[in-house]
């Protein structure tokens, strides 16, 4: 039997894979395939944290690729313009700082996006009643109608990102991504003037 050696290797890998599972976890074939992929990358001296960073970066690019198709005929032309507009659906208004922080964007770059949305009349602004030096922005009827118009295709682009995962895998991934995002949001808000070494030192 020419494949016997491969079969024995698979059995060994399955035993190792089982040790990575919790007692109440029921694995699926895709879980095992993902484990084999990680094992292969480890043998090639790719640290897990590097692999995570690589795939997060790639997922961001894939998302931009899909959203660009959605925005082809929209006044919004970039993923950033969309991500800045969507929070304003849920708030009466936001300060520019609040909107920048929600999108993990530096002030200069964030304000450029806001100014583009203002020029396109997708958002408007007014003086903050409590702080006259500050401006608050809010979505216009044009902006709201545009989001409603493209929402079905935006839902398709979101679905495509994880369509190859089971419902359980999607829930687990969403949970992990939310946890990681919350962790880094705190660093983004409080560590803007710190070096990477200073941030790492605080974490230790």
For the segment 129-171, what is each residue's pLDDT rounded down to a tens digit?
877 778 899 999 999 999 999 999 999 999 999 999 999 999 9
Beta carbons of 122 and 140 less than 8 angstroms apart? yes
Beta carbons of 143 and 85 less than 8 angstroms apart? yes
123 or 6: which leads in pLDDT: 123
Beta carbons of 91 and 102 less than 8 angstroms apart? no
Structure tokens at 160: 């495509």
Q: Does the residue 94 lie in any domain?
A: yes
Strand-pairing partners, residue 139, are 123
Phi then psi dihedrals of residue 92, to 5 deg: -60, -40
Helices (H) and strands (E) in the chain, counts: 9, 3
Q: Does the residue 35 lie in any domain?
A: no
Mean pLDDT is lowest, of 16-30, 81-95, 115-129, 135-149, for 16-30
Task: Decide: helix, strand or coil at residue 94.
Answer: strand
Mean pLDDT is lowest, of 27-31, 41-45, 78-82, 144-148, for 41-45
Q: Does the residue 22 lie in any domain?
A: no
Mean pLDDT is lowest, of 4-8, 16-20, 41-45, 188-192, for 41-45
Mean pLDDT is lowest, of 8-12, 150-154, 199-203, for 8-12
The share of the chain scoring above pLDDT 70, in percent, equals 89
Residue-number span of the structural domain to which 157 is assigned: 48-192
Q: Does the residue 173 lie in any domain?
A: yes
Q: Does the residue 143 lie in any domain?
A: yes
Per DSSP, the residues of 2-61 read: TTHHHHHHHHHHHHHHHHTS-TT----HHHHHHHHHHHHHHHTT--HHHHHHHHHHHHHH
Statement: residue 175 has pLDDT above 90:
yes
Condensed to tens digits (0 to 9), the pLDDT of residues 48-82 reads 888 888 888 889 999 989 999 999 999 998 989 99
Can you give the pTM of this predicted structure? 0.70
- 24: confidence class by pLDDT, cuts 50, 70, 90: low
In this prediction, residues 167-183 reach a mean pLDDT of 92
**Count of domains forming the chain:** 1
Q: Does the residue 120 lie in any domain?
A: yes
Structure tokens at 93: 């208004």
To which H or E segment does residue 174 belong? Answer: helix 167-190
> CB-based burial of residue 84 (10 Å sphere; 0-12 exposed, 13-18 middle, 19+ buried)?
buried
CATH number of the domain that residue 119 is part of: 1.10.10.10
Q: Does the residue 133 lie in any domain?
A: yes
- 43: confidence class by pLDDT, cuts 50, 70, 90: very low
- Tell me the C-alpha to C-alpha distance, in Å, between residue 163 and each of 20, 29, 70: 25, 16, 17
- 202: confidence class by pLDDT, cuts 50, 70, 90: confident
Q: Does the residue 156 lie in any domain?
A: yes
Structure tokens at 94: 């936001």
């Amino acid at each position: 039997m020419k494949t016997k050696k491969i079969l024995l290797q698979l059995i060994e890998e399955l035993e190792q894979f089982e040790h990575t599972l919790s007692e109440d976890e029921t694995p699926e074939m895709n879980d095992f395939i993902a484990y084999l992929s990680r094992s292969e990358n480890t043998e090639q001296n790719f640290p897990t944290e590097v692999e995570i960073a690589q795939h997060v970066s790639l997922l961001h690019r894939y998302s931009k690729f899909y959203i660009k198709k959605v925005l082809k005929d929209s006044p919004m032309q970039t993923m950033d313009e969309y991500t800045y507009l969507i929070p304003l659906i849920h708030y009466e208004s936001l300060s520019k700082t609040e909107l920048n922080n929600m999108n993990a964007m530096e002030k200069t770059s964030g304000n450029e996006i806001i100014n583009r949305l203002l020029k396109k009349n997708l958002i408007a602004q007014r003086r903050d009643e409590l702080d006259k030096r500050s401006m608050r922005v809010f979505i216009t009827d044009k902006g709201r109608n545009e989001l409603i118009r493209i929402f079905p295709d935006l839902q398709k682009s979101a679905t495509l990102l994880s369509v190859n995962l089971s419902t359980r895998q999607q829930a687990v991934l969403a949970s992990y991504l939310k946890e990681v995002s919350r962790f880094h949001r705190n660093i983004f808000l409080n560590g803007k003037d710190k070096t990477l070494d200073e941030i790492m030192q605080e974490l230790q």
